[in-house]
Amino acid sequence: MDVMTAVLSRRSERRLVEPAPGDEEFAYLLRAAATAPDHGRLRPWRWVLVRGEGRDALGHCFADACSAPAVRRARMRAKANRAPLLATLVFAPVPDHRVPEWEQLAATSAMAGCLTLLLHARGFGSIWRTGELTESPQVRRLLGLRPTERLLGWLYIGTPEEPRAVRRRVPDDVTDRISVFAPEALAA
Is 39 within a domain?
yes
Over residues 98-118, mean pLDDT: 98
Q: What is the pLDDT of residue 179?
A: 92
Cα separation values, 77 from 50, 113, 122, 159, Å: 14, 27, 29, 21
Cα separation, 151 vs 142, in Å, equals 12
Q: What is the CATH number of the domain that holds 146?
A: 3.40.109.10
Where in the chain does DSSP place strands (E)?
A: 16-17, 45-51, 85-91, 125-129, 150-160
Is 141 within a domain?
yes
Is 182 within a domain?
no
Over residues 94-120, mean pLDDT: 97
pTM (two decimals): 0.92
Q: How many domains does the chain have?
A: 1
Is 22 within a domain?
yes
Is 65 within a domain?
yes
Bridge partners, 112 (sequence order): none
pLDDT digits (tens, 9 = 90+) for 1-51: 999 999 999 999 999 999 999 999 999 999 999 999 999 999 999 999 999
Is 2 within a domain?
no
